[in-house]
Amino acid sequence: MRQRVAVALSGGADSAVAALILKQGPYEVCALHLLLTDMPASLAQCEQAQALSRRLGIELHVVDLVQEFSSRVVAPFCSEYSSGRTPNPCIVCN
């Protein structure tokens, strides 16, 4: 039985190549795409990830984090920035 692994699939070339390499190896690959905003560019990346997963023949799970990302990252960033501070939103995610 092949070991199952998940790969983050952004819709770009790097994650697509990573998924392909894993699939060619001893793994059963599934993909995750994190939807962080509902802006057109983000939705386009999601569509690219869906197309890539179909082309690669791997299952894709789209995780809708739009509301959580907005409330936990974007809103605090805007609040801090409007108070004259220079926040680093990446710290929240890491």
Residue 1 has pLDDT above 90, yes or no: no
- Does residue 15 carry a pLDDT above 80? yes
Contact 10, 49 (CB under 8 A): yes
Are the beta carbons of 46 and 63 closer than 8 angstroms? no
Please name the residues in contact with 18: beta carbons below 8 A apart, sequence gap of 6 or more.
7
Domain boundaries along the sequence of the chain: 3-66
Quick: pLDDT tens for 53-77.
Answer: 999 999 999 999 999 999 999 999 9
Q: Residue 77 corresponds to which amino acid?
A: F
- Other CB atoms within 10 A of residue 72 CB: 14
Residue 8 — φ and ψ, nearest 5°? -75, 125
Pairwise CA distance, residues 74 & 36, whole Å: 10
Please state the pTM of the whole predicted model. Answer: 0.86
Q: What is the pLDDT of residue 74?
A: 93
Architecture (CATH level 2) of domain 3-66? 3-Layer(aba) Sandwich (3.40)
Q: Confidence class of residue 89 from pLDDT cuts 50, 70 and 90? A: confident
pLDDT of 64:
98
